Amino acid sequence: MPHTIVNECSPVETSRSHAEFLCVDLDGTVLQGNLLWESLLALLGKHPWYVFLLPVWLAKGRVALKREIARRAQLKVSTLPLRQDVVAYLREEKARGRKLILATGSDETLAAALADSLNLFDYVLGSDGKTNLIGEQKARRIKEVLGENGFDYAGNSAADLPIWEAAQTAILAGPSPRLLNTVQKTKTVGAVFERRKWRWASLAKELRPLHWTKNLLVFVPLVMAHDLTNREKLAQAIVAFASFSLCASGVYMLNDLLDLEADRLHPIKQARAFASGELQVWTGLLLFPLLLAAGLAMGAALSWLFFATMAIYAAATTLYSTHAKREPIVDVLLLTGLYLLRILGGGVATNVPVSPWLLAFSMFFLLSQAFTKRHAELLGSPENENGQAAHSKRNYIARDTDLVRQFGVTSGYLSVLVLALYINGREVTSLYRHPQLIWLACPLLLFWISRLWFITNRGQMNEDPVIFATRDPVSYLVGLIMLLILFAAS
């Protein structure tokens, strides 16, 4: 039977049915994602301890799980990513005088809220905590409401086959070729909306490979001990780098899932794969534990002590994503601690002692970078009615901007002071023949820190300072000169 492909960007003319009523599925049809997963993340993002109640709710049935989550989740349905091609088609049908009914397996309370925000549907049918409105049950419910009136149905999955069977005309949103062929055999197909292609580039971007540069800190103990030529230890450091990178990608993914609502309101972060709907939420929920597990397994292959270090890192980063990032000062201190844990992890992996001087310098230097990031966020985001930076889950307010800048600049300059004290210490003579040359590194470091804060204070820091450094020619030049100084001092 003939059908018309409807473009992702703009619907075209389709074969029309005489049915007055058009029933429409929600998940995967109107929404790019799934309302259950979205509401679950909204709940766990604010109250992570509810994860322990999920098995109890699920034991009562999937429909009970939907109701329990819907009762507690504070979900802004207006921010959810929609299939704009389907929505445009529905508005066109509405303008022609057709009655639109939202018929979904999602909980009716959340479905009704979404219908209100769209101002498109005349009636809403959803799961009520007792009946899971999918498949045969949905078809039966539609017939009860419409009686002898015929209807068309728009859906997206094999679960919709019983409803299409009862409908006059089938409308399919992103079906697989197999599903489309199955429906065509028995029903008139009115319209087919384009199937979304899997975007490997979006997944690769979500892994944040640029942020893996932070994990280069695992090589620092080996470099500072002048033992980089030791192949065995270098291989151990590379494995440690891979372990941290896998765990970090898993946590980045978890963090984006928990920050969906805030990211969708943010002018820049709304383009992230999960926030924009390019990647489905369930993909992240599946991948982030796998990435964490792979990173931990790789760590265990080095040593149990390094595995313990990675377990602490994974727990701390999860704590940061779920709670600590909302606590001023605690967030930057924990962020700095995670940086230091990379250095300590590098020492553990290679069995190279980490100098207290290195830890002291790194603590103040990395704390300055953490405050740089917070200061940039405060400057780059408008305020809400409470004085907080809008589109952010962090509890900083506009009045904190000057204080954050003072903390950051002071921390950065303290790192230079630690370096100067180290140069005058006894330990430096055992590693360097000409330690006095390292004094040249102090003004270079002062220049780089001061320049970074000038850029940040002018509102020109639009990304993580570490990522900024990887794209900044001046940073590369300063880093190269620093390495030449250390080489000459050796």
The CATH number given to whatever domain includes residue 420 is 1.10.357.140
Co-location of 116 and 224 in the same domain: no
Is the separation of the CB atoms in 69 and 57 below 8 Å? yes
Can you give the pLDDT at residue 388?
52
Instruction: Assign 136 to helix, strand or coil.
Output: helix
Residue 15 confidence (pLDDT): 45
DSSP string, 62-97: HHHHHHHHHHH----GGGS-B-HHHHHHHHHHHHTT
- End-of-domain residue from the set 172, 193, 214: 193
Residues 234 and 111 in one domain: no
> Which among 155, 125, 119 has a CA at the least distance from the CA of 140?
125
Which one, of 459, 366, 353, 342, lies nearest residue 418 by Cα? Answer: 366
Span 38-65, average pLDDT: 90
Which of 173, 193, 213 corresponds to the end of one domain?
193
Residues 277 and 221 in one domain: yes
User: What pLDDT, in 10s, does the model give residues 24-37?
Assistant: 999 999 998 889 99
Can you give the residue range of the structural domain that contains 142?
A: 5-193
Q: Which residue has the higher pLDDT, 255 or 54?
A: 54
How many distinct structural domains can be found in the chain?
2
Mean pLDDT check: name the lowest of 264-268, 314-318, 386-390. Answer: 386-390
In the chain, the N- to C-terminal Cα span, in Å, equals 79
CA dist 105 and 36 (Å) reads 9
Same domain, 205 and 252: yes
Do 82 and 31 touch, CB atoms closer than 8 A? yes
Per-residue CA distances from 338 to 182, 215, 216, 347 (Å): 53, 10, 13, 14
> Which has the higher per-residue pLDDT, 466 or 170?
170
308 plus 449 within the same structural domain: yes
102-160 pLDDT per residue, tens:
999 999 999 999 999 999 999 999 999 899 999 999 999 999 999 888 999 999 999 99
The C-alpha atoms of residue 132 and residue 173 are separated, in whole angstroms, by 21
210 & 186 share domain: no
Residue 170 and residue 242 in one domain: no
Q: 123 and 216: one domain?
A: no
Q: What is the mean pLDDT of residues 278-298?
A: 90
Interatomic CA distance for residues 312 and 244, integer angstroms: 12
Among 116-125, 138-147, 341-350, 459-468, the minimum mean pLDDT is found in 459-468
Residues 418 and 379 reside in one and the same domain: yes
Same domain, residue pair 337 and 485: yes
Q: What pLDDT digit, counting tens, does each position of 207-234 carry?
A: 888 889 999 999 999 988 888 888 999 9
Residues 415 and 462 in one domain: yes
Q: Minimal CA–CA distance to 333: which of 365, 374, 370, 362?
A: 370
The answer, yes or no, to whether residue 268 has pLDDT greater than 90, is no
Work out the number of other CB atoms within 10 angstroms of the CB of residue 95.
Answer: 8
Q: What mean pLDDT is reported for the chain?
A: 86
DSSP state letter for 359: H
Judge if 185 and 53 occupy the same domain. yes
Domain CATH for 60: 3.40.50.1000
pLDDT confidence of residue 261: 80
Amino acid at 301: A
23 confidence band (pLDDT: 50, 70, 90) = very high
- The percentage of residues in the chain with a pLDDT greater than 70, rounded to a whole number, is 93
Contacts of 429 (CB under 8 A, 6+ apart): 435
Bridge-partner residues for 388, per DSSP? 397
Residue where a domain stops, chosen among 176, 193, 210: 193
Instruction: Identify the CA nearest to 283 among candidates 210, 206, 212.
Output: 206
Quick one: 462 exposed, middle or buried, by C-beta within 10 A (0-12, 13-18, 19+)? exposed
Model-wide pTM > 0.75: yes
CB of 435 within 8 A of CB of 423? yes
